[in-house]
Amino acid sequence: MSYFTHDFVGEIALHGVGKSRVITYKVLFMPPRFEAELPFKTFPRLRVEGEIADVPVRGAWMPVGDGRRYFIVSPDIKANTGLDVGDEVEMRFRIDDQDYVDVPAALQAALNEDELALAEWARLTAGKKRMFTNHVMSAKTTPTEQRRVDEAMVAIKDGITLRDLQKRKQ
């Protein structure tokens, strides 16, 4: 049996998300045959790990209002393969640990140095942890990463979201 339990070939497409401000992503839409096989009733945003064009990926199948589901194709795919919108690509995947969170080293180090923050971190849901880690991981420079770690630490200790922290600064 293969490490990845599901596979298909699909076309990379553009998909807009949002109502007042639409953000466009490159995505793969899930073939309908997986809908009955996978536990979407329990996990509407089912987290998976796998490969797209042999490039490792980790993320979630996200629901669309029309019944379809999509997986965001990261910029790494284009950078490593040259594949883009309209190209067909193979995706292989398996169900991942639904509570898995990839914590950036800088954030983990800050948490390890602050017992209060670490205790608050332990109480957060996986989704809230991902919100903080994505904020830190999306930084393009080391100073921005450090600023975002500092912001995350304040928000975590105060039990607020990053959005609430931004409102507080205004």
pLDDT at position 162 is: 80
The CATH fold of domain 6-95: Elongation Factor Tu (Ef-tu); domain 3 (2.40.30)
The 10s digit of each residue's pLDDT in 134-158 is 999 989 999 999 999 999 999 999 9
**pLDDT score of 169 more than 80:** no
pLDDT at position 25 is: 92
pLDDT at position 1 is: 52
How confident is the model over 21-41, as a mean pLDDT? 93
Residue ranges covered by each domain of the chain: 6-95, 105-169
What is the DSSP track for the chain?
Answer: --SS-EEEEEE-EEEEE-SSS-EEEEEEEPPGGGTTTS-TTT-TT-EEEEEETTEEEEEEPEE-TTS-EEEE--HHHHHHH---TT-EEEEEEEEPPTT-----HHHHHHHHT-HHHHHHHHHS-HHHHHHHHHHHHT-SSHHHHHHHHHHHHHHHHHT--HHHHHHHH-
**pLDDT score of 92 more than 90:** yes
d(CA 156, CA 145): 16
**Count of C-beta atoms within a 10 Å radius of residue 60:** 19
